[in-house]
Amino acid sequence: MQHIWHKCDSEYCYICNNGARLDFCEVCKGGEASLTTECCQRVLTELEEDLIMAKKLDFKNGEWYEISSSN
């Protein structure tokens, strides 16, 4: 499923912040570095966000994927 992007254009919104709009999903609440390839259709946990930002976890084709390091 696709992410549903936040849009409000309020000058007081921390996401829209005077035109410096951040990518933020209204469904999973992922933003910028904590966004997965596709939306998981629920709010991300703190652990999931940490793993996504560390590029160790992704969600696509309806499934979670652990990303192994190639080191």
Domain ranges of the chain: 17-66
Residues 6+ apart with CB under 8 A from 1: 38, 39, 41
Average pLDDT, the chain: 88
Q: How far does Cα 33 stand from its chain's mean position?
A: 7
Structure confidence at residue 65 (pLDDT): 95
The answer to whether the predicted template modeling score (pTM) of the entire model surpasses 0.85 is no
Contact present, 41 and 64 (Cβ < 8 Å):
no
Report the pLDDT value the prediction gives residue 52, as an integer from 0 to 100: 97
Predicted confidence at residue 71, as pLDDT, reads: 47
What lies within 8 Å, CB to CB, of 32 at 6+ separation is: 22, 23, 24
Using DSSP's 3-state secondary structure scheme, residue 60 falls into: strand
Position 14 confidence tier, pLDDT thresholds 50, 70, 90: confident
pLDDT for the residue numbered 69: 74
